[in-house]
Chain A
């Protein structure tokens, strides 16, 4: 909202603003562990462990390859993940079930981290649709489309959703949407994110994840941090609620997906 106002104001009134890439002298913080852990319905658990590193370093992030990772659920099952390569770990047989709560424990040379997540029931996309967002004034500019996701909601409980988008089979990394049905709940909901621009002939795939509240808060903050960079809000590190001194998240989820071609 705020950024829309700024952008319009800047466009319309001021033509003198400019952006320049500059050199900034930044210190390097002590490396902090980053964990990206995922267990999906009917799949084994996958974890990627890495560290924070120097901001302007163009190389890949340093990996943690010697961790001991144990996944367990509230049914008493557990297993140890094995290291594949470059800090990627994978489970063997323990797969995600709806309604179960999962705990992940990470041990690196005696330092312990843990996180817990609930795997919610599978959401259901009823259909996808698109609408034209803006009709351009001249023919040089392509019209912009917004994709609408119609899905089933359970109005009798709090539900949280994460939307991921793919354009022509490629995941759009830097855009995702979160929705908590505290705002509006009904048997059927329609969601569209106006920040996401699509064009004619795009093949759009939407993945709808049912997630728990902690993950919803994490992704909402991640969104906030990514999109408020230009505004004057105070920056911060989105925290998932793992034990201390660790970035990243633990996601237990089930998802549904649909594809639509914009014509």
Chain B
């Protein structure tokens, strides 16, 4: 192990021992000063290239000489500059957004072929412009629902924002908002996500080949960045939809140096229903959710930048004396520091909190939740164009509240489960290396360590080395083959009786009884681009093995159960499949087709006679078809079609009578299938005339256009007319749901 580390550490240093200079700087959007993440920088001659990082920073080194440097970003005008490299240069670039021009064949200037030149595989970046046009339920733009349209990512149930990545359960997704973990990413029983897409800049999802900079969850990483705020001018945008209304404002505090963005969203079903005649809901009823995001961004010279970002969101629900509410709070403080032109470092202090509570009357209250205090550092050393070394650490202290029922009036009622605390650390090193012109690799290792603190007899320490490798072999300028392996560990477990994820679910740390989940994933893929990289296609296959996944003994009560760990069953999971993807990125007609064929199975002692059985979210076929088409400069049409095999479910294979009732008798776990799910959504966006001070648009959409009654659940009951007759009932949630949203942006 040690010699491997030494090799990884020293190898790039050896090859960098030649005379060279560095050009570095920030790439920002011209109008707003917003960082551009993942912009391409290329030096000619030599075709040395790099991409800007999460903060828009880039650094590239080359031998002394005269070069043409080009900066490009999808949807933006490319900038080319001649530079004489005889010393280190600081060079910022401001890219301007292309105006919408129809009938234009866009040929991007340089290297929009990252999907075949980069070793990263099973990684998807969502373009916010795609998200913006995709039709969704009730007109609420939703990044998590857009993710579900990508290959390898499936939805556990209709309308849900939970998602399964390559056979992982929804609690195995690490969802980061400005680096802070969001423990429950949904509103209204899972139908809407907590992310207000107006203020989101970038979303990257890692399904596999996860670099060692990330850790903590077994199946995927969804890294979401909030906008920094306009550094140049004040601007705002907002919208009014059927479900919610939203407004964001941003602008400079000190022009080009400091900016803010603040955004709010609130649903208003309660207000409308109260205003309507006929007393649909009672006066004391509370039913709403809200999200608040805010961020400050400060450039203190060329070497230092500071960011402070926060999120608060809650669902509130109640009537009379009964009430419940839940939500997340997150805060991130970040400091970017340039140690040199080649060494970029970011240090973050992070707090995140998820809590759930209800009260039965004024006196009796229940709450549960998790608090997470984190410290992270990531340092990137841009050694030379062939090697980019990253190293860093991550430290989390988590405070778990597994549940407490309290009464102020009568303390005898109190049931307070012991709080648990745990420390999780990760240190990592990673190098991205161009080994030869056609071969490049991203390899590293993460060492994660965990301990549940306190003196309970269930505490135990774990140390798990997590190797991560992905290799890209470029066959020619249009195609490449990639290979990746990663190991991930997860020391957090979500206790859940349901499969869709509920706010009542409880997070607990690993212990001597509950071992950390360990996922090993192998993936390989073939990538080919057509029409000057305008069409990307890929085929990937993967195999994932999950150790120490958990389930419960039948009928285990999760809430306020001190001994819940005694009823946890553990076992193995496996998932394998193929993913096919065709994407057209630019032009009047854009979109993608994704098809996933996969199997996901579990083997757990105590369930299904210890035989392999399909996981509930084992979807054999999953197809998504997403298109958008610019009819004219002001009108765009878009559509989504999805088809998926029904979830695996347990149906009765008999019945019996007890206590005067008919009870279903179950045999095999998940041996049946729900009917196949399919749905078509359509949406049209009509933009108003462009004005100096403000722009408006209307989104008119219909969810489930052909009104298919997709099964949300199938349940079995005695017939109401004749108790001797038993029947199967299909419940479908959404028929056709039309919606309209009005959007406005102003300066």
Contact = CB atoms under 8 A, between A and B. Distances in A.
Interface of A: 1-2, 5-6, 8-10, 12-14, 16-24, 26-29, 31-32, 34, 36, 50-56, 58-61, 137, 171, 173-174, 176, 182-186, 217, 220-222, 224-226, 229-239, 247-249
Interface stretch (B538-546, B692-700, B712-720): B712-720
A140 to B, nearest CB: 12
Instruction: With a 10 A CB-CB cut-off, give which of B287, B658, B729, B731 has the most chain A CB atoms.
Output: B658
B654 A53 contact: yes
A183 B714 contact: no
Contact of A55 (B273, B715, B716): B716
Contacts of A184: 410, 412-413
B728 A247 contact: no
Given A59-B724, A60-B724, 17 more contacts: A13-B269, A17-B735, A21-B727, A21-B730, A22-B728, A24-B728, A28-B654, A29-B665, A32-B665, A36-B659, A55-B654, A58-B724, A61-B655, A174-B660, A233-B498, A234-B497, A238-B555
B655 A16 contact: no
13 contacts: A8-B317, A13-B188, A16-B735, A17-B731, A19-B732, A20-B709, A22-B728, A32-B654, A54-B655, A225-B664, A230-B715, A237-B666, A248-B658
B690 interface: no
A225 B716 CA distance: 11
Given A2-B504, A13-B188, A233-B498, A222 B652 contact: no
Contact of B653 (A27, A34, A226, A234): A27
B363 to A, nearest CB: 12
B502 interface: yes
B681 to A, nearest CB: 14
A116 B313 CA distance: 52
A54 B737 contact: no
Given A17-B731, A50-B657, A137 B709 contact: no
A217 B553 CA distance: 13
B726 A236 contact: no
B401 to A, nearest CB: 18
B571 to A, nearest CB: 14
Given A14-B733, A58-B724, A231-B498, A52 B654 contact: yes
B189 interface: yes
Interface residues of B, number: 72
Contact of B709 (A5, A18, A54, A221): A18
A183 B250 CA distance: 51
Contacts of A36: 658-659
B712 to A, nearest CB: 8
A60 B726 CA distance: 12
B330 interface: no
A28 B734 contact: no
Contacts of B712: 17
B375 interface: no
9 shortest interchain CB distances as A-B pairs: A173-B660, A236-B554, A16-B735, A29-B653, A52-B654, A221-B555, A229-B715, A137-B279, A24-B728
B6 interface: no
A151 B309 CA distance: 55
B157 interface: yes
B659 A176 contact: yes
A85 to B, nearest CB: 16
Interface in B634-691: 650-661, 663-667, 669, 672
Contact of A18 (B504, B732, B737): B732
Given A9-B188, A17-B733, A52-B654, A232 B728 contact: no
A11 to B, nearest CB: 9
A56 B736 CA distance: 32
Nearest to B405: A183
B730 A19 contact: yes
A183 B413 CA distance: 6
A56 B651 CA distance: 12
Contacts of B248: none
A233 B665 CA distance: 15
B500 interface: yes
Contact of A229 (B412, B669, B709, B717): B717
A185 B407 CA distance: 13
A158 to B, nearest CB: 14
Given A58-B725, A221-B554, A17 B658 contact: no
A137 B282 CA distance: 9
Q: Which of B499, B657, B715, B725 is most buried by chain A, counting CB atoms within 10 A of its CB?
A: B657
Contacts of A226: 661, 663
User: Which of B654, B715, B725 neighbours the largest number of chain A CB atoms within 10 Å of its CB?
Assistant: B654
A28 B716 CA distance: 15
B655 A53 contact: yes
B555 A236 contact: yes
Contacts of A171: 660
B648 to A, nearest CB: 11
A53 B287 CA distance: 45
A182 B446 CA distance: 45
A235 B650 contact: yes
B415 interface: yes
B278 A5 contact: no
B358 interface: yes
B465 to A, nearest CB: 35
Most buried by B among A29, A182, A185: A29
Nearest to A51: B656
A247 B191 CA distance: 38
B500 A55 contact: no
A50 B715 CA distance: 24
B667 A225 contact: no
A171 B652 CA distance: 26
B502 to A, nearest CB: 6
Contact of B666 (A9, A18, A235): A235
Contacts of A217: 555
B650 A234 contact: yes
A12 B273 contact: yes
B714 A22 contact: yes
B324 interface: yes
A60 B189 CA distance: 40
A5 B656 contact: no
B253 interface: no
Nearest to B273: A12
Contact of A234 (B280, B669, B729, B732): B669
Contact of A10 (B279, B664, B733): B733
Interface string B490-504: 000000011110101
Contacts of A32: 654, 656, 665
A174 B385 CA distance: 72
Contacts of B412: 184-186
Nearest to A21: B727
